[in-house]
Structure 1
Amino acid sequence: MRNTVLIPALLALSVGLAACSHQPNVNLENAKTNFSALQTNPEATKVAALETKDASEWLDKAQKAYLDKEDESTVDQLAYLTNQRVEVAKQTIALRTAENKIKNAGSDRAQALLDARDAQIKQLRGLNAKQTERGTLVTFGDVLFDFDQASLKANSRDSVTTLANYLIKNPDRKVIVEGYTDSKGSAAYNQGLSERRANAVKNALVRAGVEPSRIVAQGYGKEYPVADNASSSGRAQNRRVEVTISNDNQPVAPRSSMQ
């Protein structure tokens, strides 16, 4: 009888220990927080219902992967994609809100600016472009470069060519190219690597026909991470080059100048 009583208790203890060993995923928790913040915005279901639903579905995939104890890199990637969908929903809300303001104000000039920004996003959709405070942002991940290298891979040409073609067709747009690294290595080395990578993208755009005076290249090393540097997949997300395109003919403000 004593043994019979102990067996369920031992099973419960083993289950509890197994649960404790499954540590929270930082990037997944961040995605949950971002999606929760989106849900608190009443406009999410009014003007960005499809985008919000898309973000919800990706979050479900990320949580399922975590509960199924899939590789951490898989969970991190799904969490990253969730955050991207949340950003798309937020930008849709901002766009629709601006549209409503324009309708109420009846401003032809503001409408023209809004149309131009909307068109810019659509033309660069293949590069996962999104609207930010500084302009239209295109992020090139770690796929552009081999590890610890600053030379563009051959298979990155299509992405760079797509961006260059857009810039050639829109000669009034200014561009800032900003390189980032993960936290591995010294600050000085990472700074140099981020600058070399930013310049590699700039030079590729120039070779494709973009006027060099329109492009500023800047490196920030390990600053401004977009993911947790504690995991390999998080570090991979931080190793990136971001290209921000102006909404008009004015230079793009450097990242370091933003609060």
Structure 2
Amino acid sequence: MRRRPALLLLPMLALAGCMTAAPPARRQPTIVFFNADSAALDSNAATLVAEAAERAKANPTLPVRVRGFTAPEGSAGYNRSLSEARARNVADVLVAAGVNRIRIVVEPRGPVPFESIPTESRRVEIVLGD
């Protein structure tokens, strides 16, 4: 008797049709670092923001969150203003690169404790999606 391999595939095809796709992996933020007491982007930071802009333009339905942070030194008001200035500068560069401003949410976070090294607190995180 001759085997029919096609018949063996039918149950597997039926099961495959019932499977759902895995959810997309959580997107890692693009992290842009700043010098102390500065909201200016250096050339490395500008390159990172440009790359983030390209990813944002390739995914036009996703929001873009721009979160600004500062180191804990100084007054809370100064640090809040600095974290907002950093985030707004990054948002402005994203817009200049072609990302629709309406998609961008600026979130100044203010001072955060030092992590492994002090410069990690002086940053902006660009998050594509929620």
Q: TM-score range by the shorter chain?
A: 0.7 to 0.9
After superposition, the C-alpha distances for 1:187-245 in whole angstroms (9 at most, x for unaligned) are: 0000000000011111110000000000011111114x4616xxxx2x21111111222
Matched, 1:244 2:113: no
The answer to which structure has the higher helix fraction is 1
Partner of 1:203: 92
Gapped regions of structure 2 (runs ≥ 5): 1-14
Q: CA deviation at 1:156?
A: 2.1
Partner of 1:138: 29
Q: Which has the higher contact order (CA 8 A, sep 6+)?
A: 2
% identical equivalent positions: 34
After superposition, the C-alpha distances for 1:111-144 in whole angstroms (9 at most, x for unaligned) are: 1x62xx24xxxxxxxxxxxx2xxxx2314242xx
Matching residue's letter, 1:242: E
> 5 Å matches for 1:173-192?
173-192=62-81
Matching residue's letter, 2:29: V
Q: What is the TM-score with the length of structure 2 in the denominator?
A: 0.77
Partner of 1:98: none
Q: What is the TM-score with the length of structure 1 in the denominator?
A: 0.41
- Give, in whole Å, the separation in 2 of the partners of 1:240 and 1:209: 22
Asked if structure 2 preserves the Cα contact closer than 8 Å seen for 1:137 and 1:242, the reply is no
- Give, in whole Å, the separation in 2 of the partners of 1:200 and 1:194: 10
The 3 A distance-change label for structure 1 pair 166 and 204 is same
Gapped regions of structure 1 (runs ≥ 5): 1-102, 119-130, 247-251, 253-259
The 3 A distance-change label for structure 1 pair 147 and 200 is same
Query: Alignment RMSD, CA only?
Result: 2.4
Matching residue's letter, 2:55: Y
